Each structure stands twice: as structure tokens, then as C-alpha cells.
Amino acid sequence: MSQSQPTSSQQQHSQTSNSKNKEEEEEEVAVVHPPKIGDRAPPLGNDDDAAAAGIRFPHDKPVLVVFLRHCGCPFAEKTFRLLTSLSNHHPEVCCVAVSQSTREDTDGWIVQVGGEWEVRVVVHAQRELYHAWGLGLSSTWYAVNPLALWHAWKLGTEEGIWNRNAESGSRWQIGGAFGIDAEGVVRWGGPAASADEVPDFREALRALGVDWVSPRGSLS
């Protein structure tokens, strides 16, 4: 019995599936293990990228680095607002936010969420910097599990922070936050355990040996 030939649509589906698998494999290869507590912090990009943010390790003061999921994510917005508040009240700490949306979209989003204050923003739309810090793409469950959706609704109803339209950046990107001491050693943080995780910056400052200042209502 002769075997039927696949239709053009089936061939296209097969090619698309293979392409996706190849992309996933390339992503898996590109992403290294995230730095652990006690490890030397990876560079913040190449020389030009790091120079734009004014960051080198070791640094003249502790550094908080936050990798945002994508511009438009309500938990990224909550995290960024907390980071900007911290940057304004803790000049002894260098605060850096990394975005994987385009520069144009990142700049527009920053205006929408209240400005960057003293946070230095690094844009890496190709996500190589995320990969170098051990942050790859997430599963569907990581991003849209029932608890994350509940927390998103709660964040919107209680704080007015809702999902925003995003023209760029992967919604499947894993976020994370790291605290690095002045010697360039990671003392706190790691990849976010779920999409709705907001970093505990009080713990970050404690790990970096910095006294926590609580501006009214900002980091509570």
C-alpha cells in the first residue's frame, strides 16, 4: 500500500515546528546557569553596553540589577516603581534595570510608569544579557498560572497597575534580580520563581549591608 504524501499545509506545519524546536534549542544553549550567591557577577553586557550604564564590577558601591520581564507586564511595573523609589532614597546603592523591549518602547513605558529617577536603564532587545545571567524563556504555566492571574487582578484593583500594551519584548521572558557588593560578588537574588514575583528589596539591602530606609508607603 502506497503511503500518502503530506499536503503543503502539513509540510508547512512540520517546517514551522522544526523551526520552533531549533529556536528553543538555540535558546537553551545560549542561556548559562544563573550566578549563585558568592559568585562573581557577570558583566552587564559588552564594553559599550556597560559604559552606557556606567557600571563595571567591582564598583564603587553596591549594585542592584533588575531584569524586567517585558514593558507592559504589571509585575515589571510594580518592580520598577519600587526600584525607582529605592534609588531615590538610597544613593549609596547603584540601581540598574535591564529591559528586553526596544529602546523606543522602553523609554515610552518609563514615562507611563512615573520616570526612572536614579535608576540606570540598560536596553538589550536581543536578550543576550538575560542569557548571560541565566535568564531564558519560561513555560506557559510560569507566566499564566491561576495564582499569577489572581495576583495580576489584585495588583490592578488594589494599586491600579494593569497590563499595558507592549509592542516589543517576549512575554515569556523570565525576570530576575541580583544584589552585587562593591567587590563584584553576588550577595542576593536570582531568577524570579514565577511571573508574579516582585523582588524583596528590603532583603536585598540587608544582604548588601545597607540600612533600609522606608519612605512613606514605598517599600512596605
pLDDT in tens, 203-212: 999 999 998 8
Using the predicted structure, report yes or no on whether residue 78 has a pLDDT greater than 90: yes
End-to-end CA distance of the chain: 72
How many helices (H) does the chain have, and how many strands (E)?
8, 5
Q: What is the set of domains in the chain, with CATH numbers?
A: 34-207 (3.40.30.10)
Using the predicted structure, report yes or no on whether residue 68 has a pLDDT greater than 50: yes
Q: pLDDT-based confidence at 90, cuts 50/70/90?
A: very high
* Mean pLDDT, residues 9-37: 56
Average model confidence (pLDDT) across the chain: 83
Using the predicted structure, report yes or no on whether residue 6 has a pLDDT greater than 80: no
Longest dimension (CA), the chain: 78
pLDDT for 136: 92
Using the predicted structure, report yes or no on whether residue 124 has a pLDDT greater than 50: yes
What b-and-e string marks burial along 130-147, b requiring 16 or more CB atoms within 10 Å of the CB?
bbbbbbbbbeeebbeeee
Q: pLDDT-based confidence at 27, cuts 50/70/90?
A: low
Higher pLDDT among residues 207 and 70, named by residue:
207
Q: Is the pTM value of this prediction over 0.85?
A: no
**Position 15: which residue type?**
Q
**Residue 104 neighbours by CB distance under 10 Å:** 12
Q: pLDDT-based confidence at 141, cuts 50/70/90?
A: confident
CA distance 105 to 154: 26
Higher pLDDT among residues 27 and 113, named by residue:
113
Higher pLDDT among residues 21 and 110, named by residue:
110
Q: Which residues contact 64 (CB under 8 A, 6 or more apart)?
A: 83, 86, 93, 94, 95, 96, 177, 178, 179, 180, 201, 204, 208
